[in-house]
Structure 1
Amino acid sequence: MDIVATTPGLYPLPDFAREELANLKGHQKGDLISGDESEEIQAVYREAREDLVAAQRDAGLDRVVEGQARWDDMLAHPLAVHDSVSTEGIVRYFDNNNFYREPVVEGDLDFSGDVAAELEAAAELTDDLQAVLPGPYTLADLATDEYYGDEADFLAAIADFLAGEAEAFPDVETLFLLEPSLATNAPGDGADERASEAIDAVASAVDTEVVVQPYWGALEEKVYAHVLDADIDAVGFDLVTEHEQNLYNAQEYGTTDSVSLGLVDGQNTLVEDPETVRERVDWFVDNTHGDPETVYASSNTELFYLPVNKFHEKLEVLGAAADLEEVKA
């Protein structure tokens, strides 16, 4: 069993970057991708990317994300920056105190290349690059459709859009598709199968390890079974929010050959110790069928909720936990 220390990305903006952006007159959410941004703003985000990549390398993570410092709209970002999408009122991001601009799709979701450009820049800084995208079901859930006119057609269009974006990525070690909506707003009959097909469409667009990471709860049994039907390499389990139901799903329906475990709380400033994190890995593996090829040891959610100092400590815990020998409680 190979333990790979990683995260779902979406990091807090470094303090220096936050201060510099606040001091730049005219900076608005999403300015960097408007085409009219100043060189000063571009320089701040380049430096932020370098800082976030260096933090992961220093912490000993096995997979390094770009950091998504520009993703002011969190998982809605790939739509929020698209020419066929207008961003409207502020919407609460799931059930917490973070917000994003509502992306309203008003035209064809053709190729953007925004995320690929970020990854190209990050690829110059690390050889262990991991891509991060919202999963298609979650991105459709966060958006409003005023163009396609049908829920199934809209989900298929979102999947095609994400697949096209992913095809343009540079070589990456893994792709994490973040799917919290599968847990928080579970698809019903028929929609659950379409969600799996949408995930499959995105996963099939890349020649790399694909991880589907739900969080903020466990998947309903039927939804979980459909996700396993997608052509993915690893499914994720949020062991911080709902460890018993996630364990039940794995025991009852099996897992993919590899798994991703949310082991560190991405929303709580209490910092776990590496031994506790490794114990959680061993507990899950010991209580499920078989020995996974790879365990992606991760935080359970994005980390942008945390103060910068706690964010760094959480990275260090994940890096250290992956290097520990098996811990028996």
Structure 2
Amino acid sequence: MTQIVATTPGLFPLPDWAKDELADLKGHQKTDLISGDESAAVEDAYDRVRTELIETQADAGLDRTVEGQGRWDDMLAHPLAVHDEVETRGIVRYYDNNNFYREPVVQGDLGADGGDVAADLDAAADHVDEGLQAVLPGPYSLADLATDEHYGDDAEFLSAVADFLAEEVRSFPEVETLFLLEPSLVENAPEGGADERASAAIDTVANAVDAQVVTHTYWGALEEKVYAHLMDADVDAIGFDLIANHDKNVYNVQEYGTKDDVALGVVDGQNTLVEAPETIRDRIDWFEQQTNTTYETVYATANTELFYLPVNKFTDKLEALANAADLEEVEA
């Protein structure tokens, strides 16, 4: 019997009060909040955001709890945007949508830099008894979102980004699951040997943590060669976006197989229509039927980050995911 684990890829929308308060504290427009050095008042606001986001997940009944990434104003680029050897420059479009981040330009060695993400996880761990889940950009996506003015070689830069993320992971408190978010594997598919290097970079990060590691891909389906190399990565599960392209994702699994566990993007992280728990279960069942496999664990998740959604719809979608997992328990 498949275990269904209700979870998310993190990056939640800020509560409305926090948008206003942080905009006032930072002296910037709501759409241009700046990450990095923060006053005590800003830190306090983010602490309250974190607590509220964790309570929201607990109230919804999710099986895994993320920190919420309220401070990630630069979205997946955040871990580099706050690094001492990185200069943040102009505003860049975040993939092909109406969200933006500051371009992180790497100007020095990406050594360990204080464990920014680890510190947030430490704070989250104080409020979570079990099921803490870490969220990081995958090394390929983080390198893709950044600009290199130091290493001068794409392969060396990717390796450096992977080593940096691995050092960050080694500073984590105990977590049950790590989601590595890799939309760039779909949006800007690696070619000419870079696909194999991307898999090796993911290995570097995955091997640094004693937890279940999920490489979650979204905004479409992976090209076949990229998928085949990702299958070589030492991760516990690969994520499939069934909202953006269910047929091609199923084809990849039919053709090349997958891990014993999978993550399925069965809730639309960019659309305000709230899926019924029965619809979510149907999507999971359909995937198992099409791939002719009963998986040990299915991580039922939103296909993308959730910061695109209004807070009320975000909350409703968390509850739908949790209720879908409970349906499995009732039927078992």
Checking the alignment, whether the CA contact within 8 Å between 1:282 and 1:327 is kept in structure 2 is no
Shift of 1:40: 1.3
- 1:253 maps to 256
Map 1:1-329 → 2, pairs under 5 A: 1-24=2-25, 26=27, 29-31=33-35, 33-34=36-37, 37-112=38-113, 113-126=115-128, 127-325=130-328
Change beyond 3 A, Cα 1:166–1:25:
closer
Shift of 1:325: 3.1
Change beyond 3 A, Cα 1:326–1:60:
closer
Checking the alignment, whether the CA contact within 8 Å between 1:166 and 1:205 is kept in structure 2 is yes
Shift of 1:327: 11
Amino acid at match of 2:228: A
Q: Distance in 2 between matches of 1:213 and 1:135?
A: 9
Shift of 1:268: 0.4
The number of residues matched between the two structures is 325
Unaligned stretches of 5+ residues in structure 2:
none
Can you list the C-alpha shifts for 1:277-299, whole angstroms capped at 9, x where unaligned? 00000000111143211000000
Secondary structure of the structure 2 residue equivalent to 1:67:
coil
Shift of 1:237: 0.4
Secondary structure of the structure 2 residue equivalent to 1:20:
helix
Shift of 1:39: 1.7
Unaligned stretches of 5+ residues in structure 1:
none
Secondary structure of the structure 1 residue equivalent to 2:33:
coil
Can you list the C-alpha shifts for 1:292-315, whole angstroms capped at 9, x where unaligned? 110000000000000111110110
Q: Distance in 1 between matches of 2:326 and 2:287?
A: 17
Work out the percentage of aligned pairs sharing the same amino acid.
69
Instruction: State the TM-score, normalizing by the size of structure 1.
Output: 0.96
Amino acid at match of 1:119: L
Secondary structure of the structure 1 residue equivalent to 2:265:
strand
Checking the alignment, whether the CA contact within 8 Å between 1:282 and 1:326 is kept in structure 2 is no
Structure 1 stretches of 4+ moved >4 Å: none
Q: Distance in 2 between matches of 1:295 and 1:124?
A: 27
Checking the alignment, whether the CA contact within 8 Å between 1:183 and 1:220 is kept in structure 2 is yes
Shift of 1:203: 0.4
Checking the alignment, whether the CA contact within 8 Å between 2:262 and 2:298 is kept in structure 1 is yes
CA RMSD of aligned residues (A): 1.4
